[in-house]
Homo-oligomer: A and B are copies of this chain.
């Protein structure tokens, strides 16, 4: 009740400043006179003025009252709109999707629609932390990060066969940051890194920042192509291989046990270190083999985060690696980012240990499975079939007719409010110009397929003329 009154005073003053009834530098009405005029208590006006001061809009001058701060910074900004003419580079989809307004459909984006996310789970966790002891709210975290969360992660990855003590786990601000730290530790400019072709597009963007030579290894329905992998090692002496385990992005394929075994044998005979990004771990229906499990964290570093299944807003990722490397990686983290986000770690721990998270995951997997079927059906109607039918996860990787250019089609769709993820954004070889990745949870609106179908028609007509 009182808050509403304070807000109304704030609004009143803001408007007067905005429409220049109160000019920069001019004196505000005294607390007493404004209270009398608006028929509100003095304390309400004082609190409103204090908040306006905190917002930098007005200034208190001791003994002489409150003044409009000046000169005035812009009160409102024009929102950044997606840049339609921007070239489709690896960062294109990230920025399109991150910048998209509410009315845009996003089958090309890499995360769940916000109404699929476990808000109440996070809300409960945030409320719990609001009652936590004071140190949690204001202290820097320890170098490795929240012990309880690392203990939980240690048990969690053990269920996938990966043995790491909590002291072998380093919390990071995101899965991406975990990979970035590893790149900083192992790579120097012009080193060679292997990635899957296609792979998560942000691997390209990240490696570009490191000025690394990227070599793509074709990804098959059972994992990387073994002959090509062996050849790439022989030809390029690469330092790292970065991949998704379990549910591969963008293809939705799953690494089989025998391919995993063969890959590790090749790795052992080389200088390679493997980074296994397990970000979709919690969406698995059956446990796929993990390279880090087979290898015992000897040459494989395991990465994960909860951005996809818990919250993209509460950022926390992690890496698990052997003891020899953990201290150096921690030093790099401190040097480049200082403390970790302790509050986020506490919130995630509370959310993950709430029994509801498991129930939510079970329901989510069923919901995704239905969305997968529905997307496959809708695509079939316009003549598009998936490259592989994924066992689980959110992505469907589809091939259009050979002569179609999905980048051009994506541009047309963007003009009609649909953000697609064209194949070559994921590809080092640029051999996937007729592929598209669909996020099945973002593809439930029939408009996605109408716009897509029209864009394909337009493309065919333009090719004819």
CB under 8 Å from chain B, chain A span 174-228 = 174-177, 180, 184, 188-189, 202, 205-206, 208-209, 211
- Is A288 located at the chain interface by the 8 A CB criterion? no
Distance in angstroms between the alpha carbons of A115 and B133 in the assembled complex:
11
Judging by beta carbons under 8 Å apart, are A165 and B74 in contact?
A: yes
Contacts of A359 in B (CB 8 A): 50
Question: How many copies altogether?
Answer: 2
Name the CB-closest residue of B to A137. Answer: B122
Judging by beta carbons under 8 Å apart, are A347 and B341 in contact?
A: no
* B-contact 0/1 string along A140-183, CB 8 Å cutoff: 11111001001110111011000101110000011111001000
Q: How far does the Cβ of A54 sit from chain B's closest Cβ, in whole Å?
A: 5
Distance in angstroms between the alpha carbons of A143 and B339 in the assembled complex:
22
Stretch at the interface among A238-246, A349-357, A436-444: A349-357
Q: How far does the Cβ of A40 sit from chain B's closest Cβ, in whole Å?
A: 16
Q: How far does the Cβ of A159 sit from chain B's closest Cβ, in whole Å?
A: 6
Stretch at the interface among A330-338, A424-432, A446-454: A330-338
Distance in angstroms between the alpha carbons of A166 and B177 in the assembled complex:
26
Stretch at the interface among A253-261, A265-273, A307-315: A307-315
Judging by beta carbons under 8 Å apart, are A98 and B206 in contact?
A: no
Judging by beta carbons under 8 Å apart, are B355 and A180 in contact?
A: no
Name the CB-closest residue of B to A127. Answer: B130
Contacts of A152 in B (CB 8 A): 55-56
7 new A-B pairs (CB below 8 Å) besides A95-B331, A206-B335? A54-B358, A73-B154, A80-B143, A111-B140, A138-B313, A173-B173, A209-B332
Closest 6 CB pairs of A and B: A50-B355, A56-B155, A117-B138, A205-B335, A140-B312, A119-B134
